Amino acid sequence: MPKLLVFIACFLIITALVTAQPVINSHIQQYTTDNGLPSNGIKGLQWDEKNEFLWMATEAGIVRFNGVDFKSYSKRTCPGSHRNGCSLL
């Protein structure tokens, strides 16, 4: 019985000293056509490590995002492309 009490006392002391990890406050930003996307339908994503761009395949063409602004590439803006939509990168 004394061993059980010592074990319980040690367990309570140890658990009282242990603290939980702090909560990480993550921020999620949602972008839509109101923010400059040509289409809300994103079909694919590709991160460009060298230039630090996020490339998106959308129903309206390819989009480059630099963290602030969107730059769209479609049949209208790039006459050499054969169609507007893009399904993968």
Of residues 26 and 80, more confidently modeled: 26
19-35 mean pLDDT? 84
How many domains is the chain partitioned into structurally?
1
User: Locate tokens 């998106």: which residue?
Assistant: 56
Element (H, E) at 65: strand 61-65
Element (H, E) at 48: strand 42-48
pLDDT in tens, 30-87: 999 999 888 888 989 999 999 999 999 888 888 999 999 999 887 666 555 555 555 5
Confirm whether 25 is domain-assigned. no
Question: Is the dihedral angle over the CA atoms 4, 9, 14, 18 positive or is it negative?
Answer: positive
Q: Provide the phi-psi class of 48: left if phi over 0, else alpha when psi is between -120 and 50, else beta.
A: beta
Domain span including residue 56: 36-89
Confirm whether 23 is domain-assigned. no
Confirm whether 45 is domain-assigned. yes
pLDDT of 86 reads 57
Of residues 64 and 17, more confidently modeled: 64
pLDDT of 10 reads 83
